[in-house]
Structure 1
Amino acid sequence: MSVRPPQDDDSEPETLAFGIAALDARLDEAEVNWPATDRELLDALGDPAIPYDASGSTVALVDVLDRVPVQEFETETELLDTLHPVFEEYRENSTRSVLGQLRSLLPF
């Protein structure tokens, strides 16, 4: 069963940030000194699970960092640019799976 949201609600709809947008939000909340190594990032962020698609599927940050050859990042922008292809690969692979295809058909 589902319930229709109230029609007179003036609040903004909630959105789910995923991929580098979700990581960027975590970085904004953490105290990271640049340049930073992958281990320093994990220490500062606590190895969070980062959503990589709109369905809320997640991947551990350590797994994403392990898939790139770089271990030190000069800036936040360099980190996000380096990790973007990894998040995209996770997102693309999730939509190809049978479960991912079923999720894309459901309205939630």
Structure 2
Amino acid sequence: MGVRPPQNDDDEPDTITFGIAALDAHLERADVEFPVDAETLLTQLGDPDIPYDATGSTVALSEAMDKVHIQHFDSEQELLNTLHPVFESYRERAGNSILGQLRALLPF
């Protein structure tokens, strides 16, 4: 997913990526080849912190991978489809917290 941050000027806005879109960017930079197992994937990517919401909250990829029971991925799409619900659950929990609700009210 991606969301544009609030803008204070007329310049072209940057895009904030999170969830599987952020993971996809890591995969492209590392040029990961599929099929791949979870351990090799984490080694190749260096276990990055993946933002799961537009406020910049992150989760380590290894922690997200621990939430799924699949340890081998035949394709990038299979990996992204598997991890999408994990990132969504983190996003929903953060949005439901008091801090998440306060952040949603503030314009920054």
TM-score by length of 2: 0.90
The alignment partner of 2:16 has SS state of: coil
Corresponding residue of 1:23: 23
How many corresponding residue pairs? 102
Tell me the TM-score normalized by structure 1: 0.90
Equivalent position of 2:81 in the other structure = 81
1:71 is matched with 71
Q: Percent identity?
A: 60
What is the rounded CA distance, in whole Å, between the counterparts of 1:36 and 1:18 in structure 2?
22
Shift of 1:56: 0.5
Cα displacement (A) at 1:31? 2.4
Q: Which consecutive unaligned segments of at least 5 residues does structure 2 have?
A: 1-6
Amino acid at match of 1:58: T
Once residues 65 and 22 of structure 1 are traced to their aligned partners in structure 2, the CA distance between those partners, rounded to angstroms, is 15
Q: Deviations along 1:30-84, whole A, 9 cap, x unmatched?
A: 1212110111111111000000001010000000000000000000000000000
Structure 1, unaligned runs of 5 or more: none
Q: 3-state DSSP class of the match of 2:59?
A: strand
* RMSD value, Cα: 1.2
Paired letter, 2:22: A
Aligned counterparts, 1:30-41, within 5 A = 30-41=30-41
User: Shift of the alpha carbon at 1:22?
Assistant: 0.4
Q: Partner letter of residue 82 of structure 1? A: T
Q: Offset of 1:6 from its aligned partner?
A: 4.0
Q: Helix, strand or coil: the match of 1:50?
A: strand
Moved over 3 A (4+): 4-7
